[in-house]
Amino acid sequence: MQTRDEEESGGLEYSERHNDGEKPAKGSEETCDQSFPVTQGGQVSGNAADFPRPEVPQPESPRRSVRRRRPPLLTISLVMANAAVFVAERLSAAGNWASIYGQDQIAVWDGEYWRLLTAPFLHAFFAHLFFNCLGVYLFGEVIERLLGRWVLLLVYVTSGLVGGFAFQAFSSDLGIGASGAVYGLAGMFLLIRFGRAGDGGLRLSLRYVFFLVFFLGLDWASARVAAENWKLQIATSAHLGGVISGSVVGYAVLVRRFGAPGFVRRAVAWCAALGGVTFGAYALFFPIWNSTWVEWRSVDRAIEEGTFDVEQLHDLARVTDSYVVAERLIHRFIFDAARDVELAEEDPARYDELTQRAIGRFTMAVESWEAIRNVALGRAPVGAPKSGASGYSVSFLGYFLFDELMGSYLDQLGTQVLDSLIELEGSRVKFVQSSKEVGREEVVFINNSFAWLLGLKGDRLDEALRLAQEAVDQLRENRPTGFQQLADGEGHRRLMSACVNTLGWILFLLNEDPEMGIRRLIEATRIYELGANFLYLAYAHAGLGDLQAAEQALQRAEELGQLSRYERRLVAELRDELGL
C-alpha cells in the first residue's frame, strides 16, 4: 500500500521501512532493508565504498507529459505568401502591381473578376503588410490550432471574397490588401472567445456583441485618423464585409461542434451560402445603389450606341464618384489606342487602318482629359478625389496620356497635352504657395512635378531649378521618423530619388555646371535604383561625350526595366545614337 507521499510523487517503488512502522527516536540505531552498520548519531561505520548502495528509481515528474504543438503550417504559409508577393512586386520590372492586379472597380465590372483573388495579396507599403500579416498570425494560429487548417482556409478565402464584394458595392477607388480576410479571422476569433454552448447549439453572449461593436468602432476611428494625418485611405467597407463574413462562417462551423440539431446546422449553412452568393451577384453585376456603377454603365452604353459626347465629362468630373468614371473612361481610350498602335506594328497589312483608329482614340482621350482639366482649373486644384476632379489625379492622368502619345510618336498631340499640363501645374504651384492647408510632401511633389514638366519643355529653366532645389531641401529637412518611417520610408526614398533626378537634369540642361548635374543624377540612382534615373544619366553622359559611361548607364536602365512607353522610345533613340 502506498503512502500519501508516494501517491503524490507518482508512486515510488522504493521506500524506507522502519522497525515496527514507527519513526526511530533521535540517537537510536536505525535499520533498513540494506544492512548499513550505523553508530549512535547516525554515522556510517567503516568505509562507505564497502557497502552496496540501494538502487533508488528516479520519481516520475508530477506534471503531465506535454505533447509538442504542431506548428500552424497554413497560417505561416499565408503570411509567407503575402510577404513573397510584396518582395516580388518590389523586384519586378512591371512596377506598381496595384493597377494591374488590384481591385479596380470598373475593371471588375468589365469582367476581370480574378482581381478579387489577387488584390488581397498586394500591399501598398511595409507597415500595411506588417500589420495584416500580424493579424493573420495572431488570429489564424488560434483558429488553425482549435478547429483545423481547412476551417482556417475556408474563413480566410470567404472573408477575403466577401470583403471584396463589399468594397465593390459600396466604395469608389482602387483596393488592395488582405485586411478583409484578416477581419474575417478576427470575427471568428471573437466567436471562439465569447461564444458559449447553449441549448440547441451556440449562444452568443453580450460580451461578444460588445467587443464586435467596439472592434468596428475602433476601425472606423483609426480610418479617420489615418486619412487626416497620413493621407491614407482605408477600405472600411471591406473590413465590415470581412468581419461579418468571418462571423457568419464561424457561426456555421461552431454551431455544429456545439451539438446543434441537424436541421439547424443545415439551415445555417444554406443561409450563409445563399447570402454570400446573393451579395456577390449584387456587387458584381447589378449594384444599382452605387452611383459609380450607374454612371459607368450609362457612359459605356452611350459609347456603344455612338451617342457619347465629351461634354458629358464636365458634369461627371464635378461629382465625387463620377469623377472616377471620367478618369477610367480616359484610361480606356488610352489603352485601346495604345493597343491599336501595337497591333499596327505587328500587322503591316492593316497599319494604316489601325494607326488612324489609334489617332482617333488618342484624340478622344485628349479632348476628354482637357474637359476634366478645365474642371480642375475651376476648383481648388489640390485635394483628394472626394472634392471632384482633383489637380493631383488630373495631372497624373495627363502625364500618362502625354507619355503614351510621345511613345507612339504622336508628338503634336503630346506637345499639346504637355502645354496643358504646364498650365495646370503652374496653377497648382501658385495655390500651394498661398495655402497653409497643403502638406509639405504634397508641396514637394507639386514643385518637383512642375519643374520636371518645364525641363521636358526646355522652357523657364531658371524657375524649374529653383523649384527643384526647394523640393530637395524640404525633403532633406523633413525625413520621416518613427511610425512614419515604417509606414512610408520606401515612398520617401522614391520621392527623394525623383526630386534629385529632376534637379540633376535641370542643372545639366542649363549647361552652367553640367558636372554638378551629372553628380546629382548619379546621386539619384544611389538613393533608389530606377530605370528612368539611369536613362537620363545615360543621356547626360552622352551629351558630355562620355560614351562608355553612357552605354553602361543605358544598359543598367534596360536591366532594371520599369520604363514607360516614352522612355522606351528614348532608349531606342539613344541606342541608335551610340551605335549599339
Give the CATH number for residue 128: 1.20.1540.10
In this structure, are residues 320 and 386 in contact, taking their beta carbons and an 8 Å threshold? yes
**Domain identity same for 186 and 209:** yes
**Domain identity same for 166 and 103:** yes
User: Which of these three, 256, 285, 314, is where a domain ends?
Assistant: 285
Query: Helix crossing, 391-407 with 440-457: angle to 10°?
Result: 30
Q: What is the pLDDT of residue 194?
A: 76
Does the pTM surpass 0.75? The reply is: no
**Domain identity same for 19 and 147:** no
Flag whether 243 is in a domain.
yes
- Nearest-5° Cα angle at 209, 205 to 211: 110
| All cell numbers assigned to 255 | 454551431
Q: What is the pLDDT of residue 262?
A: 67
Flag whether 279 is in a domain.
yes
**Domain identity same for 248 and 182:** yes
In this structure, are residues 465 and 510 in contact, taking their beta carbons and an 8 Å threshold? yes
In this structure, are residues 540 and 504 in contact, taking their beta carbons and an 8 Å threshold? yes
Domain that holds residue 189: 73-285
Flag whether 531 is in a domain.
no
**Domain identity same for 50 and 129:** no
**Domain identity same for 20 and 96:** no
* d(C-alpha 249, C-alpha 419), whole Å: 56
Residue among 355, 566, 360 nearest 456 (CA): 566
Flag whether 442 is in a domain.
no
In order, the DSSP letters of 7-63 are: HHTT--S-----GGGSPPPTTS----SS---B-TTSPBPS-GGGSPPP--PPPPPSS
Contacts of 523 (CB under 8 A, 6+ apart): 500, 504
The three-state secondary structure class of 463 is helix
In this structure, are residues 371 and 314 in contact, taking their beta carbons and an 8 Å threshold? yes
Residue among 471, 541, 546, 475 nearest 502 (CA): 471
Q: Residue 60: how many CB atoms within 10 A of its CB?
A: 11
User: Which of these three, 285, 319, 339, is where a domain ends?
Assistant: 285
pLDDT in tens, 247-294: 888 888 877 666 666 676 678 778 888 888 888 888 888 888 877 787
**Domain identity same for 3 and 48:** yes
* d(C-alpha 279, C-alpha 283), whole Å: 6
* d(C-alpha 432, C-alpha 386), whole Å: 19
**Domain identity same for 22 and 93:** no
Q: How far lies 378's CA from each of 44, 118, 318, 447, 453, in Å?
A: 108, 38, 10, 20, 21
pLDDT in tens, 69-81: 678 889 999 999 9
pLDDT in tens, 383-432: 333 333 344 577 888 888 888 888 888 888 888 889 888 888 888 888 77
- Sign of the torsion formed by the C-alpha atoms of 69, 74, 77 and 79: negative
**Domain identity same for 46 and 105:** no
In this structure, are residues 195 and 204 in contact, taking their beta carbons and an 8 Å threshold? yes
**Domain identity same for 181 and 34:** no
Flag whether 239 is in a domain.
yes
User: Which of these three, 59, 82, 98, is where a domain ends?
Assistant: 59
Mean pLDDT by 10 residues, the chain (580 residues): 44 41 46 46 48 52 56 90 88 70 84 90 86 91 88 92 90 83 89 66 68 79 71 79 87 71 73 86 85 77 70 60 70 83 84 85 82 66 38 76 88 88 84 69 83 89 89 79 58 83 90 85 88 90 89 89 86 87
Question: Based on the structure, what is the number of domains in the chain?
Answer: 2
Flag whether 141 is in a domain.
yes
**Domain identity same for 43 and 187:** no
Question: What residues pair up with 196 in beta bridges, in sequence order?
Answer: 203
**Domain identity same for 112 and 248:** yes
* d(C-alpha 7, C-alpha 68), whole Å: 27
- Sign of the torsion formed by the C-alpha atoms of 84, 90, 91 and 94: positive
Q: What is the pLDDT of residue 343?
A: 86
* d(C-alpha 159, C-alpha 157), whole Å: 6
Query: Helix crossing, 514-527 with 531-543: angle to 10°?
Result: 160
| All cell numbers assigned to 231 | 493621407
Flag whether 529 is in a domain.
no
* d(C-alpha 28, C-alpha 26), whole Å: 6
Flag whether 299 is in a domain.
no
Q: What is the pLDDT of residue 48?
A: 45
* d(C-alpha 131, C-alpha 239), whole Å: 14
